[in-house]
């Protein structure tokens, strides 16, 4: 099992991330969604590795096979963990891909660590620029919604997971077996980590990060019927704030694009990897 140490806790105990490194060629780092682990990218890993890429996936702290510390569940720490992965594996000219919470990690990394080692990136079903209700985001969620999610996780996190996965995959034509498999990816998650990430969603505004003008070839991929991170609130606003981006709107799609539109997403990501840094992006795949 491949483990990578990113720091130690206050008692000197190592905090490690589980990762997988597959294939040869230009490196692609895939950041998974909440509350799953690296295995959600199965379809994309297959296509990218088969298409000549080196594909790196890892479990966020608190999830999957990674360490599950009592704290550190905020986007600064997540961005620092990503930096440790890129540096330890000595990756260069990286294509970063973040799904949902992973998109927030990408944006925070680009701002906090000045996009070191990154050549292009994709934000899929992004929680950026904000999930919270504000003057600039009147359709966002209020604190009561996030408090309710935390209460449900504390009471019965497995019931919450069942409802959440049905929300993002139910009625999409995905097989029942795949739905059950996706649910299983969330079962190893720490309850502390799950609640910590919900609070991170509630407390983080990415507008300042995106204002840093991340001018690299990039894709913003979002379903027009996303009920977790609505298209107008998150997908469209994210694309508008990134001067180097192209928006791919998946008509009628919801949040779980990695499963519901897996092949289409994989081909779009492979097209991004093959785009020279100084060139425009290829047309969308339909």
**pLDDT tens per residue across span 150-181:** 999 999 999 999 999 999 997 788 999 999 99
Question: Is 255 an active-site residue?
Answer: yes
Instruction: Give 286's pLDDT tier (boundaries 50, 70, 90).
Output: very low
Instruction: Tell me if 258 is assigned to some domain.
Output: yes
Instruction: Give 285's pLDDT tier (boundaries 50, 70, 90).
Output: very low
Contacts of 15 (CB under 8 A, 6+ apart): 5, 6, 7, 8, 9, 61, 67, 69, 72
Q: Taking residues 199-207, report their average pLDDT.
A: 90
Q: Which of 32, 222, 255, 261 is catalytic?
A: 255
Cα dihedral value 263, 264, 267, 269, nearest 10: -110
pLDDT at 172: 83
CA 176, CA 209: separation in Å to the nearest integer?
39
pLDDT at 213: 53
pLDDT at 1: 65
Averaged pLDDT score across all residues of the chain:
92
Q: What are phi and psi of 17, to 5 degrees?
A: -115, 135
Instruction: Give 134's pLDDT tier (boundaries 50, 70, 90).
Output: confident
Q: Which of 66, 67, 100, 190 is catalytic?
A: 100
Instruction: Tell me if 280 is assigned to some domain.
Output: no
pLDDT in tens, 69-90: 999 999 999 999 999 999 999 9
Instruction: Tell me if 285 is assigned to some domain.
Output: no
Tally of structural domains, the chain: 1
Instruction: Tell me if 196 is assigned to some domain.
Output: yes
Tell me: pLDDT of 3 over 60. Answer: yes
pLDDT at 278: 55
Q: Which of 37, 59, 209, 226 is catalytic?
A: 226
Domain that holds residue 44: 3-273
Instruction: Tell me if 144 is assigned to some domain.
Output: yes
Q: Which of 84, 73, 136 is nearest to 109 (CA)?
A: 84
Instruction: Tell me if 283 is assigned to some domain.
Output: no
Tell me: pLDDT of 280 over 70. Answer: no
Give the domain CATH number at 69: 3.40.50.1820
Consecutive H or E run containing 3: strand 3-8
Instruction: Give 212's pLDDT tier (boundaries 50, 70, 90).
Output: low
Question: Is 226 an active-site residue?
Answer: yes
Question: Is 9 an active-site residue?
Answer: no
Instruction: Tell me if 282 is assigned to some domain.
Output: no
Instruction: Tell me if 278 is assigned to some domain.
Output: no
Contacts of 252 (CB under 8 A, 6+ apart): 223, 224, 225
């Amino acid at each position: 099992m491949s483990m990578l140490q990113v720091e130690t806790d206050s008692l000197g105990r190592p905090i490690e991330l589980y990762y997988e490194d597959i294939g040869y060629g230009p490196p692609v780092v895939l950041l998974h969604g909440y509350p799953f682990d690296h295995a959600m990218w199965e379809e994309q890993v297959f296509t990218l590795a088969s298409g000549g890429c080196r594909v790196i996936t890892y479990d966020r702290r608190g999830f999957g096979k990674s360490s599950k510390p009592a704290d550190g569940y905020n986007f600064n720490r997540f961005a620092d963990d990503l930096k440790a992965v890129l540096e330890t594996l000595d990756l260069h000219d990286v294509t970063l891909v973040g799904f949902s919470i992973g998109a927030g990690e990408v944006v925070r990394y680009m701002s906090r660590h000045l996009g070191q080692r990154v050549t292009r990136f994709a934000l899929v079903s992004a929680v950026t620029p904000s999930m919270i209700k504000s003057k600039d985001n009147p359709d966002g969620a209020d604190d009561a919604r996030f408090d309710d999610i935390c209460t449900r996780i504390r009471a019965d996190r497995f019931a919450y997971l069942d409802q959440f996965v049905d929300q993002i995959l139910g009625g999409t034509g995905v097989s029942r077996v795949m739905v059950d498999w996706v649910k299983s990816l969330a079962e190893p998650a720490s309850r502390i980590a799950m609640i910590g990430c919900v609070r991170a969603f509630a407390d983080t505004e990415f507008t300042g990060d995106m204002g840093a003008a991340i001018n690299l070839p990039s894709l913003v991929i979002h379903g027009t019927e996303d009920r977790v991170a609505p298209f107008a609130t998150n997908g469209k606003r994210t694309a508008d704030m990134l001067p180097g981006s192209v928006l791919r709107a998946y008509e009628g799609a919801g949040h779980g694009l990695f499963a519901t539109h897996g092949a289409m997403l994989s081909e779009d990501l492979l097209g991004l990897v093959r785009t020279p840094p100084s060139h425009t992006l290829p047309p969308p795949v339909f």
